[in-house]
Each structure stands twice: as C-alpha cells, then as structure tokens.
Structure 1
Amino acid sequence: MTATADAEAAANELMPLAEYLGSVLRRLRALPPLDLDLTQAHGNVLANDVLAPHPYPAFDQAAIDGYAARWEDLTGAGRVGSHPSLGRFEGGRPVRLNVVGDLGAASWRPVRLNPGTCFSVAAGAPLPIGSDVVVPVHWTDQGMAAVEIQHAPKRGSGVRRAGDEVAAGQVLAPAGAYVTPAMVATFAASGIGHVVVRPSPRVVVVATGDELVDVGRPSQPGQIVDANSHALTAAAVEAGALAYRIGICDDDPEGLRGLLEDQTLRADLIITTGGTGTGPGDMLRRVLSRRDPGRGAVEFTDVALSPGATLGFGTVGGEEVPVVCLPGEPGSALIGFEVLARPVIQLLAGAEPVFRTSVKAHLLETISSPGGLREFRPAHVAERRGGGHTVQPLAGGPYTLSGLAEANGLLVLGERVTTAAAGSTVDVLLLDRRR
C-alpha cells in the first residue's frame, strides 16, 4: 500500500468535522437571559423581541430651525426654479406673517396658531396647534416681530409627526439581534431603559505544558513561548466573550484539576490549549478523560480536520462547566478555535447563526490538500468588479500561524479534495478583519 493510500485509510477512521460539531453543539444551551441597563446591554444578544412602548417622535415637532406656519398662509409666496422641496405657487411676492412667539426644544406649554401668524421654532420644539409647515430660516428675512417669507415649502416640510419614525407597539429589534449603539439610541428614544439579553459568555483560557514560558523572550530548546493563551483570549474577545487569560499551568495532575475546578466559579466556558495528544507529556488528556463522579469528564476525538486533528469537549467541576480543549501548536489552536470554540461561544451567547459568514470565491492559484481531511487554509479574499470574490491562498500546513496573521478569510477544502485548480470555485469563511 502506498503512503498516500495509508494516509487516506487513516483519515477514513476520523470523525467527520460536521458530525463532530453537531454532537458538541447539541449538548449546549444559550445562557439564561438577564435584564440589563441599556448601556450595559450593548454588544449582547437580545433574548426577546423589543417592542416600542411609545411612539417616536413622541409629539409633533419641528425638524429644522425656522418658522412654524399654516401652509394656507403661504400660498402667495414665490418659488425658485424646480427645487423639489418648494411648492408650486404662482407669483413672486413674499408673504408677511406676524411672529407671535418663540418655541425651543424645552418649551412645553401648548400654543395655538391663528391665521396670519407664525412662531419662531428651534429643531425639536413642539409644533403649535394648527401649524403644518416649518419654513427654513434662509428662505426668510429672519424677522423677529414680523417675518417676510420669500419661498413656500411643500405642506408638511420641516415637520416630524408623532410616530412618524416608530409607532407604538412596533418591533424595534428581533430576538437574536446584537445590541448596537444605534439600537441603544432607538430604544432610549422610544422610552425603553432596560432590555432582556443573553449575557456575554465568561471565557477562561489556560495554556498547559511544562515547556511553556511567558512572552518577552525567544523560544529555546526545552522552552516554548506561550503564544496560545494570549491569542485565544483575543479571539474569544473578538467573538463577543468576556475573556480572562489564566496563563500557564504545568503538567501537574492535581494542580491542573484544582485550577480548572477553581475557574468553574467564574466561567461559562473554559478553553485549554496543549496536551490533547497521546504522547508522554500530554497530561491534560489523561487528567480530563478520567470520569470521576461529580467532577465531569472530557472526551477527546480525532477529527478529520487539518491542521490539528484532535479536539476535546466535555465538562469540568460540579457545575459541569463546558470545556474545549485545543491543540498546542499555535496555528492549529487558532484553527481549532474557529471551528469549535467560536461556535460554542456564539451558541452560549444566543447568537444566530453560530458560524461565520461564507462566500463562494474564484481560486487564483492551484493548491493541494490532504485527502480525507477538511482543510482550513489562511487566505486573502477580495471583491471582484461586477460582483463575486477572488481568493488567494496564503501559507498553510506548518506555516499556518504566519498565514493567519495576513489572512482575512479561511479557504475551506472538503475531505474529498486533494487538488483545487486555479479558476475553480471554493468556499471561504470571512474573518472579522478590516483590510
């Protein structure tokens, strides 16, 4: 049997990635909802539809600075050319109206407009009863006791009626939507001070291994700089989590178990990196695979995934906090985060969909892929003139980490693909990066 055939036979014994993800995600539920103040709710996912309790605007108001008047009183005013905001009135003489008062945004007493009169108004001021137009200041002589109006706007111009933008009972945002700054403004303007949201998952990140040392120095024989806990904490924050980097945990069984159980008090999800293999130094797999009553257990699965074939998922501690175990190689750890940990965070947060947006793209370069494995390769995606996308593969395999640093997408090649020709159409996951 050839080496290629051996590799394909071994890959056939691995669990397909889609099947593995389905088995993991079916075990999870979104976190219980919380009632939060608007400013605290920003960035969270709404647990319920949000309905407007009141209309917006809440009352008829001026949309611009000017003079609130009756449109019938302006029918003699001139018009200029065919400006779309001007009325179609014959004649060119100005209309003169008495200014009977000033109204600002803080005015609250109701006033009535009589024929032949107007009020000077500021944007946001309540409209006088009977007025149906606000004339812009620059269409007048800006008079104080009386004003001459040279041009007549259309009826209703410069006016915002109650409920024009949002009606009472209208759905402002559906359940599952992220709370944005614009949503916060709309909720507040409609009289909403609190909303019910799914809380941001609290994620704890732990790197394991006796060989690990903190950043700030280069790796050397027997020592490897801990890049993973920093990168995975940043990735969890990008996914919308409240992430905490615990740092490095040595390969001490009791120390590892005690640290993880301590973290269950502050975590909705624990992410570990390193120790997922079956080698002599892979302590984490041996410790977490042990099924102790009341302490949870993690199942490690060989998945048809490249890079990084072994992933772990289960629970730890009496609270049965979910734990995701990722490989120790930095590129594999980040790919493992994308395919497993990120969807878990999204599901806990109540977000839909849990997976990143994907597009079809035109491949610019012929590439090979390991048979039997679903490969995720760093790539640069660009929009084509006239529509569609192109994708340029970046460094993968042992160089996945450096490729990811340049990537704005992940090229996905299926288990049956061994070669993807230039010009073919491929799937690409879009990463949340501005490039």
Structure 2
Amino acid sequence: MTATADAEAAANELMPLAEYLGSVLRRLRALPPLDLDLTQAHGNTLAADVVAPHPYPAFDQAAIDGYAARWEDLAAAGRVGSHPSFGKHEGGPRPVRLNVVGDLGAASWRPVRVTPGTCFSVAAGSPLPIGADVVVPVHWTDQGMAAVEILHAPKRGSGVRRTGEELAAGQVLAGPGTYVTPAMVATFAASGIGHVLVRPSPRVVVVATGDELVDVGRPSQPGQVVDANSHALTAAAVEAGALAYRIGICDDDPEGLRGLLEDQTLRADLIITTGGTGTGPGDMLRRVLSRRDPGRGVVEFTDVALCPGATLGFGTVGGEEVPVVCLPGEPGAALIGFEVLARPVIQLLAGAEPVFRPSVKAHLLETVSSPGGLREFRPAHVAERRGGGHTVQPLAGGPYTLSGLAEANGLLVLGERVTTAAAGSTVDVLLLDRRR
C-alpha cells in the first residue's frame, strides 16, 4: 500500500467535521434570557420577538422646515420641475400668497387647524396642523413672516410624515437571535420600548496548559514555548461576543489542573483550554479530563477529519456541568479549532442565529493541494470582483503560519475529497470579521 493510500485509510477512520459539530451543538442550549434596560442591550441577541407598542412617528408631523398648508391652496403655484423666480410670470402661474397664522416647533403641543388661505411656519418634527397635507420647503418661498408667497407647489403629501408611516403599532421589529445594533436600539426607543429580553453574553474562561509554557515578554529558550494561545483565544472570544477572561498558564499537574478548572465553573458559561489534547506522554489534560469521575464531568476527545488540528475535545467540567472546549496546543491549529468549534459554541450560547460565519463562493487564483480525507481550512485573502462575485488568494505558508492567519480576511475551505483545487475553480471561503 502506498503512502498516499495509507494516509487516506487513516483519514477514513476520523469523524467527519460536520458530523462532529452536529453532535456537539445538539448538546447545548442558549443561556437563560435576561430582561435588560435598552441602554445595556447593545451587543446581545434577542431572546423573543420585540413588538412595537406604539406607532412611529407617534403623530402626524412635519418632515422638514417650511410652511404647513392645504395642497388645494397651492394649486395655482408653479409645479415641480419648473424654475421658481421672484416676481410675476408672464403668461404662467403666479406665486400663491398665504397668511402665516402661527409658528410651530418640535415642542408644540396644542392642536391647531389650518384654514383656507392660511398656513403655519413649522420646524422639522413639529406636529402637523389639522387639515394640512403638505409642507412647502423654505427655499420655495419668499420666507415671509406675516404672509408668505409660495413660488413652487410640491406634490400632495410632500414634507409630511404620517402617524405609523414607518412603524405600525403591533409590528414585529425584530425576532429571536437578532443581534442588537445601535440603530436597532434607536428603533426600539422611538417606538416606546425601554426593556428587551436578550441572551446574556457568554462568560468564557481561557486556560493554556503545559509545563513548557512561559508567559509573554521574553523569547523562548530550548524546552520553553511562549504562551501565545491564551492571549489569541481570549481575543477571539471577545470578537465572537463573549465576556472573556484569560486565566493564563496551568502546569501539567493532574490535581492542580482539575482543581483550577472546577474553580472556574463558578464564573464561566464556557471554558476553553489549549494544549494537551494528544496522546503523548506530556498530554496531561486529555488523561485528566477524559477520566469518568461522578459529579466532576467528563470530556470526550475525538479525532476529527480536520486540517490543521485533528483532535478536539468537548464535554463538561464540575458539578455545574459547565461546557469545556479543548483545542490543540499548536497556535495555528488552536485558532482554526476556535473558528470551527469554539466560536459556534459561543454563538449558540448567546442565542445568535446563524452560529457559523458567512461564506461565499470564490474564484481561486492559485492551484493548491490538500490532504485527502481531511477538511482543510487555509488562510486566504478574499476580494470582490469588479463585475460581481469574489476571488480568493491562498496566503503563503498554509494554516500553520501565524503570519498568514494574521493577514487573512477569509479561510479557504477544501473538502475531504479534494486533493487538488485548480486555479480558476470555484471554492468556499469563510469570511472573517476583520476591520481593515
């Protein structure tokens, strides 16, 4: 049997990524909802329909500064599209003169009525006088105070916002799983909503394990590895919408490791570990967490058809049964593992829909090879084409290169049956949230 055949046979023994993710996500439920003040709701996802209790606008109002009048009184003035000018128009429509009987501002509250031949000077947002059905812009008039000449007649209803024109009372403004944006907060407030039911942001604790790890701020020496993972994964969890806490480095001490993780269950909705997922002599985390101790939870480690980072762990820790995701120790594999497993878990706990990043079909600019039997995620740069669609350029170094991941705005996805993807072919690309 050839080396390629051996590799494919080994890959066939791995669990397909889609099957693994389905088995994990089916075990989880979104966090219990909270009723939050509107000012605290931004960044969370809704747990129930939000229904407008009142219409918006709440009353008929002027949309612009100008003069509120009856359209019938303006019929003799110039039509839209003509060129208004002061003075008389030989052989054409003449300005319409109306008496200005009052001024209205946004704080005006007494109801008033416009009668034939009269108008009100109004500011944008002010209540519309009863009987008025048009607001003439100031620059279409001579800007008179006691009386005004209307030089140009707008269409009926122009410059007016009617009650409920934008949002009707009883209208569903947003549904469960919707991310609350600043504009959505404004919409809720404008329609009279002060509190909303949301899923809280998950509290995520990040722990790096391994005797070889040292903290940042000094170069690695033989037998030492700088802990980049816990910093990167904490940042990734924050980007995913979590409240993330970096615990730091935990040595490969069985009791110390188990005790640390159980202590964190009091403050965490999810624990993410990195390192120790293999079967080597130094992989203490796998041996400790896969032990079935009553009341202490258990983590199952699965060999997944994923490149990079084939071994992932998922289970619960402590009596509270807090979910734990165990990622590989190699930095590139840890970050890819976060994208494919930990990030969807965070999104599900937060009640977000969908839980996966958006993807696009893209035109591949360079031929690439991929290991057979594995679903590979490769750092790439995706761009929109001028004529529509997208192109994708794989970045040098492949998935194990941190510099490639740092530059990437997408992840090129090559399926289990793909060994070579030719330039010009269409491939799937996950879009990363990078502000550039």
TM-score, normalising length: structure 2: 0.95
Cα distance in 2, alignment partners of residues 146 and 339 from structure 1: 70
Deviations 1:371-393 (A, max 9, x none): 22111111111122322221111
C-alpha contact 1:76 1:89 (8 A) present in aligned 2: no
Cα distance in 1, alignment partners of residues 29 and 234 from structure 2: 22
Report the more deviating stretch, 226-235 or 111-120: 111-120
Give the superposition deviation at 1:76.
2.1
C-alpha contact 1:32 1:198 (8 A) present in aligned 2: yes
C-alpha contact 1:85 1:153 (8 A) present in aligned 2: no
C-alpha contact 1:307 1:397 (8 A) present in aligned 2: no
Cα distance in 1, alignment partners of residues 75 and 367 from structure 2: 72
C-alpha contact 1:59 1:126 (8 A) present in aligned 2: yes
Give the superposition deviation at 1:169.
0.9
Report the more deviating stretch, 101-110 or 376-385: 376-385
C-alpha contact 1:362 1:391 (8 A) present in aligned 2: yes
Give the superposition deviation at 1:334.
0.2
Q: Residue 111 of structure 1 aligns to a residue in which SS? A: coil
Cα distance in 2, alignment partners of residues 300 and 201 from structure 1: 23
Q: 1:51-70 residue pairs with structure 2 within 5 A?
A: 51-70=51-70
Closer, same or farther: CA 398–145 of 1 in aligned 2, 3 Å: closer
Give the superposition deviation at 1:2.
2.4
Give the superposition deviation at 1:87.
19
Give the superposition deviation at 1:95.
1.6
Q: Residue 286 of structure 2 aligns to a residue in which SS? A: helix
Give the superposition deviation at 1:88.
17
C-alpha contact 1:362 1:423 (8 A) present in aligned 2: yes
Give the superposition deviation at 1:164.
0.7
Deviations 1:149-175 (A, max 9, x none): 211111111111101111111111122
Cα distance in 2, alignment partners of residues 166 and 85 from structure 1: 39
Cα distance in 1, alignment partners of residues 70 and 354 from structure 2: 52
Closer, same or farther: CA 83–94 of 1 in aligned 2, 3 Å: closer
Give the superposition deviation at 1:84.
13
Q: Residue 395 of structure 1 aligns to a residue in which SS? A: coil
Deviations 1:17-43 (A, max 9, x none): 111111111101111111111121112
C-alpha contact 1:45 1:197 (8 A) present in aligned 2: yes
Cα distance in 2, alignment partners of residues 73 and 359 from structure 1: 56
Cα distance in 2, alignment partners of residues 265 and 389 from structure 1: 45
Deviations 1:169-207 (A, max 9, x none): 111112221111111111100001111111111111111
Closer, same or farther: CA 84–56 of 1 in aligned 2, 3 Å: farther
Q: Residue 18 of structure 2 aligns to a residue in which SS? A: helix
Give the superposition deviation at 1:397.
4.5
C-alpha contact 1:87 1:152 (8 A) present in aligned 2: no
Give the superposition deviation at 1:419.
1.4
C-alpha contact 1:86 1:151 (8 A) present in aligned 2: no
Deviations 1:283-315 (A, max 9, x none): 111111111111101011111111111100000
Give the superposition deviation at 1:338.
0.6
C-alpha contact 2:379 2:398 (8 A) present in aligned 1: no
Cα distance in 1, alignment partners of residues 4 and 116 from structure 2: 92
Structure 1 segments of 4 or more deviating over 4 A?
Answer: 82-92
C-alpha contact 1:140 1:150 (8 A) present in aligned 2: yes
Give unmatched runs, 5+ long, in structure 1.
none
Closer, same or farther: CA 143–211 of 1 in aligned 2, 3 Å: same
Give the superposition deviation at 1:65.
0.6
C-alpha contact 1:370 1:418 (8 A) present in aligned 2: yes
The aligned counterpart of 2:47 is 47
Deviations 1:296-354 (A, max 9, x none): 01011111111111100000011100000000110000000011001111111111221
**Residue 343 of structure 2 corresponds to residue 360 of structure 1:** no
Report the more deviating stretch, 183-192 or 385-394: 385-394
The aligned counterpart of 2:289 is 288
Closer, same or farther: CA 159–418 of 1 in aligned 2, 3 Å: same
Closer, same or farther: CA 101–144 of 1 in aligned 2, 3 Å: same
Give the superposition deviation at 1:117.
1.4
The aligned counterpart of 1:32 is 32
Closer, same or farther: CA 80–28 of 1 in aligned 2, 3 Å: closer
Q: 1:8-157 residue pairs with structure 2 within 5 A?
A: 8-79=8-79, 81-82=81-82, 92=92, 93-157=94-158
Considering only aligned residues, what root-mean-square deviation do their CA atoms show, in Å? Answer: 2.4
Give the superposition deviation at 1:86.
16
Give the superposition deviation at 1:231.
0.7
Cα distance in 1, alignment partners of residues 347 and 88 from structure 2: 56
C-alpha contact 1:73 1:115 (8 A) present in aligned 2: yes
Give the superposition deviation at 1:4.
2.0
Closer, same or farther: CA 71–334 of 1 in aligned 2, 3 Å: same
C-alpha contact 1:77 1:91 (8 A) present in aligned 2: no
Closer, same or farther: CA 316–84 of 1 in aligned 2, 3 Å: farther
The aligned counterpart of 1:172 is 173
Closer, same or farther: CA 89–378 of 1 in aligned 2, 3 Å: farther
Closer, same or farther: CA 247–118 of 1 in aligned 2, 3 Å: same
C-alpha contact 2:363 2:424 (8 A) present in aligned 1: yes
Closer, same or farther: CA 85–127 of 1 in aligned 2, 3 Å: farther
C-alpha contact 2:78 2:84 (8 A) present in aligned 1: no
Closer, same or farther: CA 86–340 of 1 in aligned 2, 3 Å: farther
Give the superposition deviation at 1:396.
4.4
C-alpha contact 1:303 1:311 (8 A) present in aligned 2: yes
The aligned counterpart of 1:350 is 351
Closer, same or farther: CA 80–419 of 1 in aligned 2, 3 Å: closer
Cα distance in 2, alignment partners of residues 88 and 234 from structure 1: 70
Size of the aligned set, in residue pairs, is 435
C-alpha contact 1:204 1:244 (8 A) present in aligned 2: yes
Give the superposition deviation at 1:64.
0.5
Give unmatched runs, 5+ long, in structure 2.
none
C-alpha contact 2:363 2:427 (8 A) present in aligned 1: yes
